[in-house]
Amino acid sequence: MVVRELSPDEVDRIFHGLADATRRDIVEQVLREAQSISTLARRYEMSFAAVQKHVAVLERAALVTKQRRGREQLVHGNPEALQRAARLLEDYERIWRHRVRAIEDILAEDALTQDPEERTEP
């Protein structure tokens, strides 16, 4: 399970990185094509420094990487990190589905053990 492969801090960083709409948009943009921070900053109504901070949060979560090209830093999306996040959510879904099946089994077992006169028809 991915839940056990990632430390609690790593999970927190991934979800924190994806919790903000601007950061999700940045991830989407750089997955399509690597972009400089200044190019990214032109997309948003915020300062260059604010975009830089968003990129730093994404970098700490390993959702993006930066690569120096001359005076610029290109931001690249990290599809492997997104795959880890997707597997993590799938793991949580499996846990949830297992719990739902267990509840269904308990209800079915309970229905079988009830006295037929006590059963209520829908």
Whole-structure pTM value: 0.76
- Give the tens place of pLDDT for each residue, 47-98: 999 999 999 999 999 999 999 988 889 999 999 999 988 998 998 899 999 8
CB contact set of 11 (below 8 Å; sequence gap of 6+):
3, 88
For residue 47, the model assigns a pLDDT of: 96
% residues pLDDT > 90 (the chain): 61
Measured from the Cβ of residue 56, the count of other Cβ atoms closer than 10 Å reads 13
d(C-alpha 107, C-alpha 104), whole Å: 5
What are the structure tokens assigned to 50, written together? 């604010």
